Amino acid sequence: YSVYTTLDLSLQRAAVDAVGKGLMLVEKELAADKKKKRTDHDEPTPRPQVALIALDPHTGEIKAMVGGSDYSASQYNRITQAFRQPGSVFKPFVYAAALETGFDARSSMDVVQQSDFSGAGEMNFPSIKDSVITPLTKIMDAPRAFTYGGVTYEPNNYKGGYGGLVTLRTALQKSLNSAAVQVAERIGYRRVADFAHRMGLNRGVRGYPSIALGAFEVTPIELAGAYTAFANEGRRVEPHVVRRVETPGGTDVTTIKHQPREVMRPELAYLMTYLMEGVINRGTGAGVRARGFKLPAAGKTGTSRDGWFVGYTKDLLVITWVGFDDNRDLGLEGSRSGLPIWTEFMLKAYALYPPEKHMEFTPPPGIEFVSIDAESMMRATPDCGGDTFQEAFIQGTAPEAYCPIHVAPIANLDESVHPEPIGDTSVVPATLPGAIPAKPSDIH
């Protein structure tokens, strides 16, 4: 029998090279951090492991795969065998589940699953029941305890500090933890778990507060399969390395056929891609731009006990993972561990295969773009000046009210159509933090 694989030898070599260079960078970062924290009882640490998988998000064909830092030392394939917590690279699924309620709301369905709450007495925050969740929905990122099933969970942001009143877009770009858990609480933890299952992620995961921060285990290849739905207009494809099997006589006897499966609406997939472009252009993934990768791309950093980066272009989806086999804390966020390796590989990949002229992500029917005033977060008027940006919405969910701060003849001051906040708004900063620029930064 002859077995034909999907691997691309040139991309495989590029992956091995990127992993090698990335490992040296990670070890340098770890050594610098260790020097800062030096004590009298320093213990030698094992060498970190690095893994990478690259695939075509439209077919699921794996183009390159590196399962560890040194194949000669260990043949353990961390891409297919290592179950690790995905951390913040799971957050896009939380926000996708929330934005999906935009379709529900147009059908007059409830957004909040009340059965996920322990009781009315614990709901100290304004409910968004029957409201539409959009990229402009307000979330109060502040210290908060979440009680579920008799257990209290108190998430902190990775580097401490809180963002205050932020939009859903900003919460994703800055990877704010309390905000993510609040969104999961409002739509129902079980709804998040059900959405994850639909994407093909760990079917044993249950709905609880920490699910919003990726506190469950998946393999990198499992995560790659889930992310294909974002990159492939809502159709999930199964990652695979065997293209076909033939008999000596040339008969194709391949028994497994990998057919795309629609798991979310194309509009939702595009909306999440547009939001994750913001992560790379001006959020925690801005290091991609700083390191010289300029093509349109969407992605997300992740930090648990390991470092992750997931990102994709129009035709290539890549996941990088960095960590220790004994599950000790790496101590490096995804932006300092997985992201540099991802960027190095992508630069090499597109040097080998120059991109097409049009690499922008194409919005499907059902998406509308609206000019938003960055101060009021309402529709911009001609008087709003240059401090505006284009936001994408599922058709019919964009705010109808016009900016009341800058006078315009068509201003509509009906606040009832402005997105309602999630969380306690009793402590609101005088101005919204982190105004989103009108154009992506050329540097970050």
Q: Mean pLDDT over all residues of the chain?
A: 85
**Separation between Cα atoms, residue 277 and residue 363, nearest integer Å:** 13
- Global confidence as pTM: 0.86
Strands 49-55 vs 317-323: parallel, antiparallel or unpaired: antiparallel
Residue 416 has pLDDT above 90, yes or no: no
**Separation between Cα atoms, residue 378 and residue 387, nearest integer Å:** 12
**Separation between Cα atoms, residue 67 and residue 65, nearest integer Å:** 6
3-class SS of residue 63 = strand
What pLDDT does 169 receive? 97
Lowest mean pLDDT among 158-162, 240-244, 356-360: 158-162
What pLDDT does 442 receive? 41
Mean pLDDT calculated for residue range 260-274: 97
Instruction: Pick 194 or 205 by higher pLDDT.
Output: 194
Per-residue pLDDT tens digits for 38-93 = 655 567 778 899 999 999 999 999 999 999 988 777 889 999 999 999 999 999 99
- Cross-strand bridge partners of residue 158: none
**Separation between Cα atoms, residue 287 and residue 289, nearest integer Å:** 5
- Cross-strand bridge partners of residue 64: 54
Lowest mean pLDDT among 110-119, 290-299, 392-401: 110-119
What pLDDT does 103 receive? 81
**Separation between Cα atoms, residue 92 and residue 100, nearest integer Å:** 12
Domains of the chain, CATH where assigned: 2-82+219-352 (3.40.710.10), 90-206 (3.40.710.10)
What pLDDT does 324 receive? 95
Nearest to 419 by CA among 69, 138, 126: 138
Residue 135 has pLDDT above 50, yes or no: yes
Q: What is the number of other CB atoms lying within 10 angstroms of the CB of residue 377?
A: 22
Q: Where are the alpha helices (DSSP H) in 199-337?
A: 220-231, 266-282, 287-290
Share above pLDDT 70 across residues of the chain, in percent, rounded to a whole number:
84
What pLDDT does 248 receive? 87
3-class SS of residue 400 = coil
Nearest to 283 by CA among 238, 334, 240: 334
For residue 39, what are the contacts with CB-CB under 8 A and spacing of at least 6?
none
Strands 138-141 vs 421-422: parallel, antiparallel or unpaired: parallel
With bands split at pLDDT 50, 70 and 90, how would you rate the model's confidence at 422?
A: low
- Contact assessment for residue 381 and residue 362, using Cβ atoms and an 8 Å cutoff: no
Lowest mean pLDDT among 9-23, 77-91, 196-210, 400-414: 400-414
Residue 373 has pLDDT above 70, yes or no: yes
Q: Which secondary structure element, helix H or strand E, spans residue 33, and what is its range?
A: helix 9-36
Residue 398 has pLDDT above 50, yes or no: yes
Residue 408 has pLDDT above 70, yes or no: no
Q: Provide the token pair at 48.
A: 């970190």
